[in-house]
Chains A and B, each alone.
Chain A
Amino acid sequence: MLAMNDRYAGALAMRSVPSAPLVGPFADRLLVHDLPGLDASRRRQVVAFTARRVDGLPSVMNLGVVLIAAVVRGLLVLPGSSVLVRFLSRTALPLLGEYVRLVRSLGYAYIWETWPDTLPDGSRP
């Protein structure tokens, strides 16, 4: 009955891979780098929000972000990860740069919407 459209049927039930274990560690490190004054409890909230939004991304984007996040997550466990985070925070490389921009954008939007009096280094006034 569904004929040629069967190939889409399985896709419609597909769920995205939970991103928190992959995106979370990098989001956390990026926040520490960019906003050293942001306390740990706020940082946890921001990271959770970021992961939630990544989980809700449209399929293609979600897949791409999760793949890049997995690579970055793998690199973060190697020695010299602070240098890596510093490099990533400034990179303009395609894909990697977009990933960093996404994580940063989500985080900053959440921080200043939730706590609008946050100082530029992330600390409370």
Chain B
Amino acid sequence: MTAPHRNGSSQAGIIAPATRLSTDVLVVGSGAGGATTAAILAEAGFDVLIVEEGPWVDQDTVAPFSLDQMDRQYRAGGVTVALGLPSIAYTEGRCAGGGTEVNSGLYFRPPVDVVERWRDDYRIDGLDLDELASIADEVEQAINVTLVPGKPTPASEMLRRGAASLGWKHSEIPRWMIYPPGGDARTGKRQSMTRTYLPRAFAAGARMVVECRVDRLTPRTGTVTEAAVTYTGGRQGTITCRHVFVCGGAIQSPALLQRSGLHRNIGRSLAVHPTVKLAARFADEVNVPDDVPVHQVKEFAPDLSFGGSASHAGLVALALTDHWREFKRAVTDWKRISVYYAAITSEGRGLVRAVPGLRDPLVTYRLTHRDRELLRSGLGRLALLMLEAGADEVYPSFRGAPVVRDRASLGEMQQRFGASKASVMTVHLCSTVPLGEHPGRCGANSFGRVHGAANVWVNDASLLPTAPGVNPQATVMAFAIRNARHFVDTHRAGRG
């Protein structure tokens, strides 16, 4: 066993690459699911090794939402797509801490009605809503869920103002941030996994290797004893283990299981929150390049939610490319422009398939007719919201879109809209290994153990039976902690 370097820093558990490693519990991935799993198991006395495909990147060394961040902390530089008509662009974190390092940091408790529906529809045993609420309390303390001190950013204020003017429900969404005394929205330090649960896991003795991809698990008669890995640079190795928690996210987790010969109900039911975007130009400067708005508009939730996106000058230009000839003159005004989205709860589903001969899985997604109509009405309402907030001009992100200057032009915009012409995106990927006891739907049991493997668990967004209609990180963390504790209770007894 290689001992971790105990240097007292947040990276104290990182060990050097080695051709052979062994551990009691192998945790694949270090995001919201993997980091919490590692912390709970290490604190319970298990020998834990975390394997992360991406690098460790200190928050202070990268500008949030920049191309540099995409290069260093996103899979494929942020250019990943679920194929379909339209194709849906998505992003995955690929770094220590996973998506928690790069997402908006907005916190929603697990929605009670959604969890109850999951419990009934997917037959999830032992799902105690009080236990989840108690875990949520604990998580909120651990990652310091809090409101912005002082004023929100101007781009956020526009969402609030527009919703207030229309009488639509809206609120400021808390974030996992620490703000210095007297600080404001732009001074927060994100309490991501590299600052919270990973240091906790290290303090309890967990080790971590970074820039190391798990290629496949090798099940023998239903039990995995070894994982084959490849380090960045091509060096290969193996890790022997007694238990495996796969926490690579809703795309990579099912792909790894499939490469390992585990297929039952795995990768067949990808769920996302598809979003359409627009750029809105105001009279005054509203753009805050390194932050996102904290307000969301929930008047039409759960079907439709409105919020704000990252709006670097490059991302503003990107939002204008769908009808560049019409929109291009706005690009020099990028400081007065911010980008907003309408997100829907989709009835569509997608597939994740490991493809022999290719390194990465094939990902597809199909929107339903209802989804397409919801995107149309969502974009229309979002444009209205921006006009009410005082936008001079609105630039919807679909091919051939008109500039919207007043309510009269909203009808034309909606008439021209087609989902197949739109730049549809998502950041919330779920449901590729749903948990529960429903034999036709679930890829894992009620606590995440994968069907067909005695010692392989999934513990990330893949387990959520559907996309929850809100930012899913808190729900992922609550389920991951619940499942890890169940594992501890079961195996502590087993270990004697």
Known: A113-B313, A119-B332. A60 touches B66 (CB 8 A): no
8 Å CB contact of B79 from A4, A53, A118: A53
Which 9 pairs from chain A and chain B are nearest by CB?
A113-B314, A58-B360, A116-B313, A112-B317, A59-B358, A120-B328, A109-B314, A59-B360, A7-B356
Q: Are A92 and B399 in contact (CB under 8 A)?
A: yes
Known: A5-B259, A106-B79. A12 touches B230 (CB 8 A): yes
How long is the Cα–Cα vector from A9 to B234 in the complex, in angstroms? 13
Q: How far is the CB of B216 from chain A (nearest CB, A)?
A: 5
Q: Are A108 and B218 in contact (CB under 8 A)?
A: no
How long is the Cα–Cα vector from A117 to B332 in the complex, in angstroms? 7
- Report B-chain residues with C-beta under 8 Å of the C-beta of A1: 218
- Report B-chain residues with C-beta under 8 Å of the C-beta of A73: none
Q: How far is the CB of B371 from chain A (nearest CB, A)?
A: 19
Q: Are B261 and A4 in contact (CB under 8 A)?
A: yes
Q: Are A116 and B334 in contact (CB under 8 A)?
A: yes
- Taken residue by residue from 1 to 27, chain A's Cβ proximity to chain B (1 for < 8 Å, 0 otherwise) reads as 111110111111110000000000000
| A-B contact list, 27 entries, CB within 8 Å | A3-B261, A5-B218, A5-B261, A7-B357, A8-B216, A12-B215, A13-B234, A52-B77, A53-B79, A58-B76, A59-B355, A60-B355, A60-B361, A60-B363, A61-B76, A61-B79, A92-B399, A101-B321, A104-B321, A108-B318, A109-B314, A112-B313, A112-B316, A112-B334, A113-B66, A113-B317, A116-B314
Beyond A3-B261, A111-B317, 12 additional pairs, beta carbon < 8 A: A1-B218, A7-B356, A14-B359, A58-B363, A60-B355, A60-B362, A102-B79, A106-B79, A108-B317, A110-B314, A114-B314, A120-B328
- With both beta carbons as reference points, the residue of chain A lying nearest to B320 in the complex is identified as A108
Known: A56-B76, A109-B318, A113-B313. A10 touches B357 (CB 8 A): yes
Q: Are A109 and B332 in contact (CB under 8 A)?
A: no
Query: Which of A14, A98, A111, A112 has the most chain B CB atoms inside 10 A of its CB?
Result: A112
Q: How many A-B residue pairs have CB under 8 A?
A: 121
B85 at the interface (CB under 8 A from A): yes
Give residues of chain B (24-75) contacting chain A, Cβ–Cβ below 8 Å: 66-67, 75
How long is the Cα–Cα vector from A112 to B321 in the complex, in angstroms? 12
How long is the Cα–Cα vector from A60 to B230 in the complex, in angstroms? 20
Q: Are B80 and A58 in contact (CB under 8 A)?
A: yes
Known: A5-B260, A5-B261. A59 touches B359 (CB 8 A): yes
Number of interface residues of A (CB under 8 A): 43
B331 at the interface (CB under 8 A from A): yes
A67 at the interface (CB under 8 A from B): no
How long is the Cα–Cα vector from A112 to B67 in the complex, in angstroms? 11
Q: How far is the CB of B163 from chain A (nearest CB, A)?
A: 29
Question: Which secondary structure dominates where chain A touches chain B?
Answer: helix
B495 at the interface (CB under 8 A from A): no
Q: Are A12 and B359 in contact (CB under 8 A)?
A: yes
B354 at the interface (CB under 8 A from A): yes
A34 at the interface (CB under 8 A from B): yes
B324 at the interface (CB under 8 A from A): yes
A75 at the interface (CB under 8 A from B): no
B87 at the interface (CB under 8 A from A): yes
Known: A1-B218, A2-B218. A61 touches B81 (CB 8 A): yes
A94 at the interface (CB under 8 A from B): yes
How long is the Cα–Cα vector from A22 to B354 in the complex, in angstroms? 27
Known: A92-B421, A120-B331, A120-B332. A8 touches B259 (CB 8 A): yes
A57 at the interface (CB under 8 A from B): yes
A88 at the interface (CB under 8 A from B): no
B151 at the interface (CB under 8 A from A): no
- With both beta carbons as reference points, the residue of chain B lying nearest to A16 in the complex is identified as B359
Q: Are A11 and B359 in contact (CB under 8 A)?
A: yes
Q: How far is the CB of B274 from chain A (nearest CB, A)?
A: 17
B451 at the interface (CB under 8 A from A): no
- Report A-chain residues with C-beta under 8 Å of the C-beta of B83: 60
A70 at the interface (CB under 8 A from B): no
Q: Are A2 and B216 in contact (CB under 8 A)?
A: yes
B243 at the interface (CB under 8 A from A): no
